[in-house]
Structure 1
Amino acid sequence: MGKGSILITGASSGLGAEMARQFAALGYDLALCARRTERLDELSQEIAVAHPEVRVRIAELDVTDFDAVPKVFDGFADDLGRIDRVIVNAGLGKGVPFGKGGDRPNRQTAQTNFIGAMAQMEAAMKIFRAQGGGHLVVISSISAVRGMPKTMTSYAASKAGVAAMAEGIAAERVPGVDVSIIFPGYISSEMNDKAAHPPTFLVDTRTGVRSMVSAIEKRRFKAYTPAWPWVPLAYAMKVLPLSIVRRLAGI
């Protein structure tokens, strides 16, 4: 018998795809969803070869389609019997400095990262309440610690909102439900690979995700990953002047 089942949104690439690989290696069944199903097909086949004992289910999902989110989540739960952990990972990193015509990409980022995450948390908590427990994991960002300038403003604000929303759910203390908020530092992914200048302290995807998976498996309430240097830097970013925070963020 496997260790349980994990639903991961935004699983077609980057951190989501690598989490799927690493959780499959630990023996979890997987429910993977994203907009790009051809990538999910490839990932599913890869995992089937490496870990034939693991059940993998895939589905197309745009998390801004708020009617589709609960249907996809419920479908996975019916198929696998239950969902033990939901990882709210799907996100968007578009951004333009405010006042420079960036209202559309900024709005898309906020809608995907915050309202889309709200839909996922609602669907997950409905399942967890019905089955008497589960583990809600929300992927925030180290940028959520303080307001960020320029192209990062909308993204950082949306990720701060996601963390606050998850903390509010945790404060309710729903019986049998654990909540984890993960604040990844700079981990190589499709999102930041497009940056003109690699951010400071960037680590490769496998290393960064390994630290995320470790924190999730320990059911840590809040985790800055990788712990070094982001635990001390997160504290510093909360108290330092914004001009210094900007330099630490590599912006």
Structure 2
Amino acid sequence: MNKIIFITGVSSGFGRELAKEAAIAGNTVIGTVRQQAQTAEVDAISPGNTFGYVLDVNDHDSVKEVISAVVNRFGRLDVVVNNAGYGLMGAVEETSMEEARAQMETNFFGALAVTQAVLPVMREAGQGHIVQFSSIAGLTGSPGLALYNASKHALEGMSEALYLEVKPLGIKVTIVEPGPFRTNWAGGSMHFTRQKIDAYNETSGKVIHMVNSISGAQPGDPVKGAQAVLKVIESADPPLRLLLGKSAIERAKGKLEWVQKDLDNWESVGLATDF
């Protein structure tokens, strides 16, 4: 079946590769970009199968208008992929409220706005699949990425609840958690806090240096990652979570071990607090 797939942020990276792979598989892909000139590039990915639309996910009125226009043109939305977002590097103390709010606005509230706009369409149809692009950073914390972690943790918390809310309505939800992939995330699209504090050179500073040093040489292949996401989209029983890459899988296992250790060591203290 030809699916109507809506993907935010297809100018590069995972969004672009997923648009390509989905079109190759015979689906109709609507991809959003930030500038009008970029729509022609989306149209050219697979002429007649890919369609570019201008959208800033931070403009919530525009989100509703674009979703409405797409549904009017194509008749339905089978899959919506919230991929638009960016990274912010800097320690918690180094991050201004303006920088923190901007990070949350795009990575969380932007995805929330798209999700809320498509839910009535999917509810009426009794089917649909919402794919939230998170990160291993949405499951584990890293020095120097605290507000990026916060934005993705928020997205995951909302999406877990959403999964339970909409499952009886025939709507599926999947959270994608990539590790380091060879995209522009750590390159030109990365944002950095304006303030720098030397006291964090050995914690946040080291992580930031490491991420910058491997930009362009990350182990993850975005084409293979996009193909994995497409398998989930095509599945009749998709998972709530899809971890991508060896690094992400190892870090997820480490997080589970950490939580289990604290639970084992402090369970008796916690249990003693009930009436």
Fold match (TM-score > 0.5): yes
Larger Rg: 2
Write the mapping of 1:152-191 to structure 2, written as runs, cut at 5 A. Answer: 152-172=145-165, 173-191=167-185
In structure 1, the residue corresponding to 2:89 is in which secondary structure?
coil
- How many residue pairs match? The answer is 233
Map 1:206-245 onto structure 2 (within 5 A). Answer: 206-218=223-235, 219-226=238-245, 228-240=246-258
Equivalent residue number for residue 39 of structure 1: 38
Q: Which residue number corresponds to residue 247 of structure 1?
A: none
Structure scoring higher RCO (CA < 8 A, sep ≥ 6) equals 2
Q: Judging changes above 3 Å, is the alpha-carbon distance between structure 1 residues 211 and 193 closer, same or farther for their aligned structure 2 residues? A: farther
Picking from 56, 63, 66, the partner of 1:69 is 63
Residue 90 of structure 1 pairs with residue 109 of structure 2 = no
The residue aligned with 1:26 is 25
Equivalent position amino acid for 2:5 in 1: I
For structure 2, which runs of at least 5 residues remain unmatched after alignment? 189-210, 260-275
Rounded to whole Å, the distance in 1 between the matches of 2:95 and 2:172 is 41
> How far did residue 41 of structure 1 move?
1.5
Q: Deviations over 1:75-131 (max 9, x none)?
A: 111101111010011112123322225433332111100111110110121211122
C-alpha separation in 2, matches of 1:146 and 1:44: 37
Secondary structure in structure 2 of the residue aligned to 1:67: helix
Q: Among all aligned residue pairs of Structure 1 and Structure 2, give the percentage whose two residues are the same amino acid.
A: 27
Cα distance in 1, alignment partners of residues 250 and 212 from structure 2? 26
Q: In the aligned structure 1, how far is the partner of 2:53 from the partner of 2:30?
A: 8
Give, in whole Å, the separation in 1 of the partners of 2:124 and 2:33.
25
After the TM superposition, which residues 102-141 of structure 1 pair with which residues of structure 2 at under 5 Å, given as runs?
A: 102-141=96-135
CA contact (8 A) 1:8 1:33 kept: yes
Asked whether 1:197 is paired with 2:229, we answer: no
For 1:129-179, what per-residue CA distance to the aligned partner results, in whole angstroms no more than 9, with x for missing partners? 1222111111110111122212x1111111111111111111112411111
C-alpha distance in 1, partners of 2:131/2:95? Answer: 34
**39-48 vs 19-28, which moves further:** 39-48
CA drift of 1:206 comes to 1.4
User: Following the alignment from structure 2 to structure 1, what is the Cα–Cα distance between the partners of residues 255 and 234?
Assistant: 26
Does the aligned pair in 2 maintain the 1:97–1:153 contact within 8 Å?
A: yes
**Partner SS, residue 192 of structure 1:** coil
Q: Per-residue CA shift, 1:184-227, capped at 9, x if unaligned?
A: 1111111123452117962232122222322333222211013x
Q: Given the two structures, how large is their TM-score scaled by the length of structure 1?
A: 0.85
- Assess if the C-alpha contact under 8 Å between 1:11 and 1:40 holds in 2: no
Structure 2 vs 1, CA of residues 78 and 19 (structure 1 numbering), >3 Å: closer, same or farther? same
Is the CA contact 1:8–1:30 (under 8 Å) kept in the aligned structure 2? Answer: yes
Question: Structure 1 pair 230/146, CA: closer, same or farther in 2 (3 Å)?
Answer: closer
CA contact (8 A) 1:14 1:205 kept: yes
Please give the secondary structure, in 2, of the residue aligned with 1:138.
Answer: strand
Misfit runs of 4+, over 4 Å = none
Residues in 1 aligned to 2:168 and 2:114: alpha-carbon distance in whole angstroms: 17
Of the three residues 73, 80, 89, the one matched with 1:79 is: 73
| Structure 1, unaligned runs of 5 or more | 242-251
TM score, norm. by length of structure 2: 0.78
Indicate the SS of the match to 1:58.
Answer: strand
For 2:117 and 2:128, locate their aligned partners in 1 and report how far apart those are by CA, in whole Å.
12
- What is the deviation of 1:240? 4.0
